[in-house]
Amino acid sequence: MNTEVNQDFKIGVVGAGSWGTALANLLGCKGYPLDLWVFEPDVCRQIAKQHENKVYLPGVTLSPNLRPTNDLQDVVADKDLVLLVVPSHLMRETTLRMADVIGPATIVVSASKGIENKSHLTMSGVIRETLTGLAEDHLAVISGPSFAREVARQAPTVVTAASRSLSTAEKVQQVFATSYFRVYSNQDMIGVELGGAVKNVIAIAAGVIDGLGLGLNTRAALITRGLVEIQRLGKRLGADQRTLAGIAGVGDLILTCTGDLSRNHTVGKKIGEGLKLEEILSEMRMVAEGVKTAKSVHNLSREVNVEMPICREMYHILYEGASPQEAVYRLMTRDLKQELE
């Protein structure tokens, strides 16, 4: 595996939540000197002084190669690669602030998973609209079954780097790959992004099932039929079905629907236990992307005429106060049909 580090290759990481911090630390530990944009001044000072992000990734000693700063433009200016790891609903605002300083030769990689509410664009679509000077073949995404905390403790993990340009995907693959972080290349950006975004909605639904105490049969059925919904939407939008059966599809779906570290599953479980969404979110500092993505997926599926009953019921639960028990009943009593329709 050729993963040699070019010390002159300049990297900026935008976003210091758990996932951004974990990826920045991976690159720093690999040997890349990099700048890390931190939104909160107190978190920035903490990383600089204590080499730890106690808010979003506590207990992990961060590489001294990380230089935290609150200056966004300084982080992205004159860089060979910029990694975006901000919540999906902040992607447009953040990249607009970068537009005047991002270089045309810079490779921009999104590690954020979501679909924008108003435009129904994936994150690469948002980036194309905001970073108008960026070459299309310099845009990439990275996704897969990868809890930040496990990556931070160097547990073996596999992800996919996708770009319409195979050479760009392979460059990102080389930059991020380590002995514990295996990166595959892919040219199906929309498939990788849809898998990473929609699985968060299904993960909330899986959490609801667990919160209701309905058992493993029900959860297995939910995950399986959730994959069908992801595949339906992917087919309509031009995704390669092999992508959705791979790391960024099935792999990420299984992890997020079953792992205790999943914020989306946690939100769903608390809803199933009877808590209100507002109460749950008020106690969380980190973002559960599936909450906002549920609205995007619901509206997008109607726009492109794709049947996604699980995602529809999650929208009703999250945004219209529907009863989880009634949602399960509606799903189970839908008209009978062939499985492979």
Q: Has residue 285 got a pLDDT over 80?
A: no
Which of the residues 113, 199, 269, 292 is marked catalytic?
199
The pLDDT score that the predictor gives to residue 245 is 97
The pLDDT score that the predictor gives to residue 159 is 98
Q: Report the predicted TM-score, pTM, of the whole model to 2 decimal places.
A: 0.96
The pLDDT score that the predictor gives to residue 288 is 84
> Residue 208 carries which DSSP code?
H
Task: For the chain, state the CA radius of gyration.
Answer: 20
Q: Has residue 144 got a pLDDT over 70?
A: yes
Q: What percent of the chain has pLDDT over 90?
A: 93
Q: Has residue 61 got a pLDDT over 80?
A: yes
Element (H, E) at 67: strand 66-69
- Helices first, then strands: H and E counts in the chain: 16, 8
Full 3-state SS string of 53-117: ECCCECCCCCCCCEEEECCHHHHHCCCCEEEECCCHHHHHHHHHHHCCCCCCCCEEEECCCCECC
Q: Quick check: 64 and 32 in contact, CB under 8 A?
A: no
Q: Work out the average pLDDT over 31-40.
A: 96
**In whole angstroms, what is the distance from residue 12 CA to residue 281 CA?**
30
Q: Has residue 87 got a pLDDT over 80?
A: yes
Q: Has residue 177 got a pLDDT over 60?
A: yes
The pLDDT score that the predictor gives to residue 194 is 98
Q: Work out the average pLDDT over 57-66.
A: 97
pLDDT band at 1 (very low <50, low <70, confident <90, very high): low
Mean pLDDT over each residue of the chain, to the nearest integer: 96
Element (H, E) at 170: helix 166-176
Note the pLDDT tens digit of each residue in 152-173. Answer: 999 999 999 999 999 999 999 9
**In whole angstroms, what is the distance from residue 205 CA to residue 297 CA?**
14
Q: Work out the average pLDDT over 315-338.
A: 97
Q: Has residue 327 got a pLDDT over 70?
A: yes
- Tokens 């972080």 correspond to 181
Sign of CA dihedral 61, 65, 66, 67: positive
Residue 199 a catalytic site member: yes
The pLDDT score that the predictor gives to residue 145 is 98
